[in-house]
């Protein structure tokens, strides 16, 4: 499994966090989510997130995409998986994130009501590569298509 970002710090106890994320096509563009961080920064991400208890990857992906973008999706193909070790300030934990990436097609806008501190954006692949910070997400956006 590919590793992006920080190396493991063996002095830290990490909490395993499995998540599902979508590279979502809307015509020739990508649907992304912009999240305001606790430090009042803005981070552009692939929509998705961690699994709830007893939730499958695909179910979590559908739920997270609607919460973060308002869009319904059709999952087309699993693109791959990567891991990273990071601090998650919103949960106050050090996490070993295992990120499953899926290619999806946008179906229709289902709601305008989004999760707090999130905004849905549509942009082309080139601009997305410039704006997305997470190196794992960048890798999959770059190699998609």
What is the residue-level pLDDT of the chain in tens, covering all 145 positions?
Answer: 999 999 999 999 999 999 999 999 999 999 999 998 767 688 999 999 999 999 999 999 999 999 999 999 999 999 999 999 999 988 899 999 999 999 999 999 999 989 998 999 999 999 999 999 999 999 999 998 7
The region that residue 138 occupies, defined by phi over 0 for left and psi between -120 and 50 for alpha, beta otherwise, is alpha
Indicate the DSSP class of residue 10.
T
Ordered by start, the domain boundaries in the chain are 2-142
Cα separation, 13 vs 63, in Å, equals 29
Structure tokens at 24: 């979502």
103, with CB counted inside 10 A (0-12, 13-18, 19+), is: middle
> Is the Cβ–Cβ distance between 136 and 99 less than 8 Å?
yes
> Is the Cβ–Cβ distance between 47 and 30 less than 8 Å?
no
CATH superfamily of 2-142: Nucleoside Triphosphate Pyrophosphohydrolase (3.90.79.10)
Residue 90: its pLDDT value, please?
A: 82
Prediction pTM value: 0.95
């Amino acid at each position: 499994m590919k590793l992006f970002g920080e190396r493991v710090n063996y002095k830290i106890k990490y909490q395993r966090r499995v998540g599902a994320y979508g590279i979502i096509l809307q015509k020739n563009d990508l649907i992304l989510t912009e999240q305001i961080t606790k430090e009042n920064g803005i981070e552009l991400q692939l929509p998705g997130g961690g699994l709830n208890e007893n939730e499958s990857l695909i179910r979590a992906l559908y739920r997270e995409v609607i919460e973060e973008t308002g869009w319904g999706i059709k999952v087309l193909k699993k693109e791959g998986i990567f891991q990273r070790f990071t601090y998650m300030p919103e949960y106050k934990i050090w996490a070993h994130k295992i990120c499953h990436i899926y290619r999806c097609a946008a179906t229709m806008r289902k709601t305008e009501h989004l999760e707090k501190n999130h905004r849905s954006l549509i942009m082309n692949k080139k601009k997305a590569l410039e704006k997305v910070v997470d190196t794992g997400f960048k890798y999959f956006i770059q190699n998609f298509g």
